Amino acid sequence: MPELPEVETIRRGLEGFCLNKKIVQVKVSCEKSFIGAENDIVGRSIVKIRRFGKALVMDLSGGLSVICHLRMTGQLIYRGAGVQGVKTDGVGLQDLMREDSFAGGHPTDSFFTELPNKQTRVEIKFEDGSKLFFNDQRKFGFMKVLATTGVESEKFIASLAPEPWKMTDEEFYQRLQRHKNALIKAVILDQKVVAGLGNIYADEALFYAKIHPKRLAGSLNFDEAKLLIEGAKKVMKESIESGGSTMATYVKADGTKGDYLKLFAKVFRREGEPCLRCGEIITKIRVVGRGTHICPNCQKEGGEND
């Protein structure tokens, strides 16, 4: 599943290509992937594109919206009018841009080849002839039509906590105290505590604050909580600016790869390498069932991180 910075870069890409375009046709090949009546959005234009945590929302004219969640293998692929597919031999993603196309999400040959294909679940055609394809190999993602006024009361959106930059230090500290007997990494991964932090950015924020991921949330003092939310804001802002982490599964909305892990990551996927702060070797452990990267020296389990 993409993390918040990856979804934000896709949102920005969609704005550049799809905003103010009128929908003239919708084809749905998998009922599970499209919730609602496709004809309800025909004749409407995309007037705004928002993000709630890891979900995208396309607001349409006339008071309807489409929520889109990519889940694990979802893709949003835009093709300009007349663009069918691109040969993969010797053609990079930047070459696709010259053809008025982009691909965001789980990278496969679908980024290059003719669409629709067997992984296409929804095809949206615009008045100018361009198209937006929602592809999803494992069918975990979805598009859902609903009234714009009902978006924020949608169950999984309504349950989201504020994102790091919308939360005060005191509010964050108090949220941690409500889960004082849980491991701090589990707490900050809980989208009902703070929205948007996934495995990568949780590891990076904990390293920034010199906090071991197995400490109990209630053991953090206010200053440590303040450092942790500060770290979350910093690493996610850097990732958004660089286009996301991508790893092996996600790319930016314009088809280029994000470079957060290469340029900014201090611990994630750096096991066996020296800590950039103290020189100790980064190790990988398991915390709440997740691969977790730490510096054993900077992040002591007892909290002695001076």
Tell me which residues are annotated as active site: 2-3, 54, 290
β-strand pairing of 34-35 with 142-147:
parallel
User: DSSP state, 51?
Assistant: E
What residue ranges in 53-150 does DSSP mark as E strands? Answer: 55-60, 64-69, 74-79, 101-105, 120-126, 131-136, 142-147
Buried (b) or exposed (e) across 137-166, using 16+ Cβ within 10 A?
Answer: beeebbbbbbebeebeebeebeebbebbee
Residue 83 near residue 101, CB atoms below 8 Å: yes
Q: From its phi and psi, is residue 239 left (phi > 0), alpha (psi between -120 and 50) or beta?
A: alpha
Among residues 133, 146, 129, the alpha carbon closest in space to that of 41 is found at 146
Q: How far apart are CA 64 and CA 82, in angstroms?
A: 28
User: DSSP state, 22?
Assistant: B
Q: How far apart are CA 95 and CA 98, in angstroms?
A: 5
